[in-house]
Structure 1
Amino acid sequence: MSPRRLNPPFRAEHIGSLLRPSDLFDKRQKFEAGQCTQEELKAAEDAAIEKVVQSQQEVGIKAITDGELRRGFFFEGVFDKLEGMTFIPNRPLTEFKPYVPFISMLTAAGMKDFPTVYCTGKIRRTKPWYAEQFMALRSLVPQEDIKNLKITMCPPTWFHQRHGSDLTYDLSVYNSDEEYFNDLAKAYQEEIQDLYRLGCRNIQFDDATFCFFCDERMVSGMKEAGDDFDYLLDTYIKAINSCLKERPVGMTVGVHMCRGNFKGGLHYAEGGYARIAEKVFTGLDVDCFYLEYDTERAGDFGPLKYLPLDKVAVLGLVTTKSPELESKEALKRRIHEAAQIISKEGIPTRSRETALDQLCISPQCGFASVWEGNPLTEKDQWEKLRLVVDTAKEVWGVTA
């Protein structure tokens, strides 16, 4: 039997975002309509977060988050707080890369512009991103559980993939991707150090950019546009690694790879991990990968053969896109199937026990990457998380 995991990622995980409780949802609408104050909204957020923390504890989740209940979109709190970044509410879609699955869907829907961020000056982190949110979260758990709390954030590549090397930053400010990502990395390093000083030991990058590389439409589109697939993939791996340079000892970092989780559970990309697995699994300086594996569009477990011996794969086998509850027996079979592939086909091969010890289970994505959330109820959400915990107990013989 594989031993219990004493540090994140735990056997039973979730990606971070949770459905907004109805009281908070209504209060946010009133705030945006100018019918309540910022203080009243914060009080509603505080009350809702206290409840979702308690619910996570009740179902047995250990890597607790605040459900991202203070955010409208999962990526908020980084680029909007950096000096040198300018928000553009209506940037023409002609200034986005048309082959990115997200952009091609907007184009097909007849949209002509979309909000984005453009780098107009030297990047500097002049204020914390998530310190206040983390401090509020840690006040809700026992001292011994603070180290397990998880902070989620978007990757440094988030806006770059949309616009490419020519339209992400003012070319009179940065002459190259390397200069741009170097300054971004300094900002991420500072944030990570500050979170560590506050007691944070668990960070997750939510990254859709890697799964977009898995989509044949993007691959062919890049080729047609003359953009270098390998250069961009290598650049994004290096960008994240630079953010983690000299990260504190004991800080667990994971990367969640997603194919899209917009309003109503909409996805953007399709395709298995085979195109990127070797480079990403072996090249990224992270501890774990949260992998979307709830449907056939994510491909099979074959690419897990590249999982290094010192890293963990969190299998996202439970969908957040529909209320239908998965079969526990089917989930257990899939976990053992993944362990078998890692054991027999892994580079290097390893014992089945070792392979199983490198696995955990979770939903494939958050329940509400955007404010509106996915098409299921809060009851459905907690039943799915309880299923994740119960499945972990039966596979690994641990509480979570």
Structure 2
Amino acid sequence: MSSVPLKCPSRASHVGSLLRPKSLYEKRQALEAGQISPEELKPVEDEAIKQVLKLQRELGISTITDGELRRTFFFDGVFNRLEGMTYIPNRPISTFKSYIPHCNLMHAAGLMEAETVYCTGKIKRTRPFYVDDFKYLKSLIPADDVKSIKLTMCSPSWFHQRHGSDLTYDLSVYESDDEYFDDLGKAYREEIKELYDLGCRHIQIDDPTFCYFCNEDMIVGMERAGVDHEALLDTYIRAINVITEGRPEDLMISVHMCRGNYKGGVHFSEGGYGRIAIKLFNTLDVDVFYLEYDTERAGDFAPLVHLPLGKVVVLGLVTTKNPKLESVEELKIRVNEAVEVLCQGSPKRSREVALNQLAISTQCGFASVWEGNPVTEEDQRRKLAVLVEAAKQIWKSA
């Protein structure tokens, strides 16, 4: 049983985004106010990335990112660079599905329109998403460490879940969700292939949509709207599987299931993983699941009993939403609770095997949008440090 091969990130990590250092934050403010150009921002981003790389190195985090410092939102860089996707600054709010948690807030706020992306033509990748970003981070580290870079990108379902199967794409362009996601998946595979050829060995797909299916209010809303939520969940699983099919054996693909991480650390959804665990753990073709477990709204560890051998769960035990510092002892207790559940899985497994299927991280990024969460850079450092120390004590050699 213990010989089942695992692809595992470092035992202590963060989900991806980091707070913008003060110099970059102030420059970004100036950009948003129209006081500087994007060209003037880039050298400040370059320097800030060096700072967050240094932070990760000093703390002993071996899986590294550029902190997503070049992005305004976590999803920047994908849909806005695809041929066939059209930016719409003022699409009527009636085209946003009110049963989707964050769209429901938009409806409740009385908004009449919002910005989005609509598919008006065949989807093609005519330019890279993050290749230049990867090349820059790669240039800052020794060649032997390039394999430790994690590149994050948003899920293919990001805009589809807002608008549903009827309003995401022009029906004269695509006749079905499968056609739409097949072309979108091809574009993702082309990006991943180019990144892989440059040395990337870990892609993380950030997906807020899966946790929406844990939200009872959304399920009720979908049923009232006549939407088959189980069929749609299958569609979104397939959309990722189209991306991951045929990937190289040494490429790790992880998916982070997020409950929302907007300005000020706002969340959009709640509910335990029990509603989706069996299906996702057993049919989603990824190696690693990053799960949020920082608050009671995430439920307990019971759904982990469905995790098959050969997969890894990264427990998001340290919150990025407030400065309260978790303790090493608290993290050790919670990991032990997760181990106890995993041991009862099918097949049952030893504590050693169960522990080997776990790692720990922050529950989400510190700045999924550029303004960041209500924590300071020092809070961020302390939270990352406690993760590393806990991992050293739990896994001994982490």
What is the TM-score normalised by the length of structure 2?
Answer: 0.97
The structure-2 alpha-carbon separation of the partners of 1:18 and 1:82, relative to structure 1 and needing over 3 Å to count, comes to same
Which residue number in structure 2 is paired with residue 307 of structure 1? 307
User: By how many angstroms is 1:29 displaced?
Assistant: 2.1
The structure-2 alpha-carbon separation of the partners of 1:381 and 1:157, relative to structure 1 and needing over 3 Å to count, comes to same
Quote the RMSD (CA, aligned, Å). 1.4
What is the distance in 2 between the residues matched to 1:217 and 1:34? 40
What is the TM-score normalised by the length of structure 1?
Answer: 0.97
Please give the residue correspondences for 1:242-281 in structure 2 after superposition, counting only pairs within 5 Å. 242-281=242-281
User: By how many angstroms is 1:249 displaced?
Assistant: 2.3
- Secondary structure of 2:43 counterpart: helix
- Secondary structure of 1:338 counterpart: helix
Q: Give the residue type in structure 2 aligned to 1:372.
A: E
Q: Give the residue type in structure 1 aligned to 2:182.
A: N
Greater displacement, 323-332 / 264-273:
323-332
What is the distance in 2 between the residues matched to 1:135 and 1:8? 23
The structure-2 alpha-carbon separation of the partners of 1:370 and 1:214, relative to structure 1 and needing over 3 Å to count, comes to same
Q: Give the residue type in structure 1 aligned to 2:253.
A: V
User: By how many angstroms is 1:35 displaced?
Assistant: 2.8
- Secondary structure of 2:19 counterpart: coil
What is the distance in 2 between the residues matched to 1:371 and 1:60? 25
Q: Give the residue type in structure 2 aligned to 1:37.
A: S
The structure-2 alpha-carbon separation of the partners of 1:338 and 1:351, relative to structure 1 and needing over 3 Å to count, comes to same
- Secondary structure of 2:12 counterpart: coil
Which consecutive residues of structure 2, in runs of 5 or more, have no partner in the other structure? Answer: none
Q: Give the residue type in structure 2 aligned to 1:115.
A: E
Which residue number in structure 2 is paired with residue 384 of structure 1? 383
Which residue number in structure 1 is paired with residue 350 of structure 2? 351
The structure-2 alpha-carbon separation of the partners of 1:56 and 1:325, relative to structure 1 and needing over 3 Å to count, comes to same
Greater displacement, 87-96 / 41-50:
87-96
Q: Give the residue type in structure 2 aligned to 1:158.
A: W
Contact 2:8 2:312 in 1 (8 A): no
What is the distance in 2 between the residues matched to 1:60 and 1:297? 30
Which residue number in structure 1 is paired with residue 93 of structure 2? 93
Q: Deviations over 1:235-276 (max 9, x none)?
A: 110110001111122110000001000000000001000000
User: By how many angstroms is 1:294 displaced?
Assistant: 0.2
User: By how many angstroms is 1:8 displaced?
Assistant: 4.2
Contact 1:193 1:248 in 2 (8 A): no
Q: Give the residue type in structure 2 aligned to 1:49.
A: I
Contact 2:6 2:310 in 1 (8 A): no
Please give the residue correspondences for 1:265-344 in structure 2 after superposition, counting only pairs within 5 Å. 265-344=265-344
Contact 1:7 1:148 in 2 (8 A): no
Q: Give the residue type in structure 2 aligned to 1:282.
A: N
Which consecutive residues of structure 1, in runs of 5 or more, have no partner in the other structure? Answer: none
What is the distance in 2 between the residues matched to 1:7 and 1:340? 21
Q: Give the residue type in structure 2 aligned to 1:301.
A: F
- Secondary structure of 1:317 counterpart: strand
1:76 aligned onto 2:76: yes
Q: Give the residue type in structure 1 aligned to 2:144.
A: E
Contact 1:282 1:307 in 2 (8 A): yes
User: By how many angstroms is 1:7 displaced?
Assistant: 6.2
What is the distance in 1 between the residues matched to 2:34 and 2:215? 42
Q: Deviations over 1:332-386 (max 9, x none)?
A: 0000000000102x12211111001100000100000001100000000011000
User: By how many angstroms is 1:93 displaced?
Assistant: 1.5
Greater displacement, 91-100 / 211-220:
91-100
Which residue number in structure 2 is paired with residue 364 of structure 1? 363
What is the distance in 2 between the residues matched to 1:104 and 1:243? 29
Q: Deviations over 1:108-146 (max 9, x none)?
A: 222222111000000000011100000000111111110
Q: Give the residue type in structure 1 aligned to 2:390.
A: T
Contact 2:82 2:123 in 1 (8 A): yes
Contact 1:64 1:148 in 2 (8 A): yes
What is the distance in 1 between the residues matched to 2:83 and 2:179? 16
What is the distance in 1 between the residues matched to 2:156 and 2:171? 18
Greater displacement, 111-120 / 196-205:
111-120
- Secondary structure of 2:88 counterpart: strand
User: By how many angstroms is 1:34 displaced?
Assistant: 3.6
Contact 1:343 1:355 in 2 (8 A): yes
Which residue number in structure 2 is paired with residue 104 of structure 1? 104
The structure-2 alpha-carbon separation of the partners of 1:137 and 1:6, relative to structure 1 and needing over 3 Å to count, comes to farther
What is the distance in 1 between the residues matched to 2:358 and 2:141? 26
Q: Give the residue type in structure 1 aligned to 2:52.
A: V
What is the distance in 2 between the residues matched to 1:63 and 1:257? 18
